[in-house]
Amino acid sequence: MIEIKSTQEYVISFFKAPVTTLQNHDLDFNGALILLGLLPFSVFLAVWSLLNRLIGTMVATVTSSFGGLGSFLMPNAANVRAEMMSSINWGGLFFSVLLVVATWFALMMFIPVLITKLMKNEEVIYIKELFTQLVAMTLPMTVLFLMATVLGFIGLPLWILTVIVAVITPILLHLFVVGMAWNLGSDKTTYIVLATQVVAMIVVGLLAIHLFTNVGGSMLDGMFW
């Protein structure tokens, strides 16, 4: 109970003053594990919301095409939508999302460590402290993906905008965390973060493409079979 209360207090403090909280407060390790575990769930829910919106849009587009003749091609639109949703392997999708999130977090944590080692930086880095700071950095991301889940039912542009903000926010906070951990100055810190983001974008992008390719194939199977 004490750990839960401490984690709650940290989260409240973080959203009130994120930079000050990162500087002056420590997040409990067990609490950090719990908070990090919420991130893949929020991403999965956002992906589910997106697929639900895309499938609905796809079915509506087909049924309203050719001056309404599309309804003859897809007379049972509601059933088709349900078939497409049920054809997706949601368990496999969740573990794929978990892999993407875990890979992204590991890259955000260890690429700066590797780069500073190559630079022969003498700064002592405590991995546990770095881990908890990076977990705190993901808090806005978790909340924004949950918001995207809800906004996906309102409109796709709102979903996209929220996800863009969710992706950009931890990059900005990453600059602060790396700068605070290694004290290398703004120039070197910026280059380290940029290098980290380039590698993360390539690796995570490839994983995401593979993920959505598989999901797209499942959706088409549900649509035509």
What are the boundaries of each domain within the chain?
A: 2-224
Nearest to 109 by CA among 199, 28, 206: 199
The secondary structure of residue 67, as a DSSP letter, is G
Q: Please give the share of the chain, as a percent, with pLDDT higher than 70.
A: 84
pLDDT in tens, 119-150: 888 778 888 889 999 999 999 999 999 999 99
The model's pTM: 0.86
Nearest to 55 by CA among 92, 95, 83: 83
For the cut 70, the answer to whether the pLDDT of residue 109 exceeds it is: yes
pLDDT of residue 219: 58
- Distance between CA atoms of residues 225 and 44, nearest Å: 26
Instruction: Write phi, then psi, for 152 (nearest 5 degrees).
Output: -60, -25
- Distance between CA atoms of residues 47 and 53, nearest Å: 10
Mean pLDDT of the chain: 85
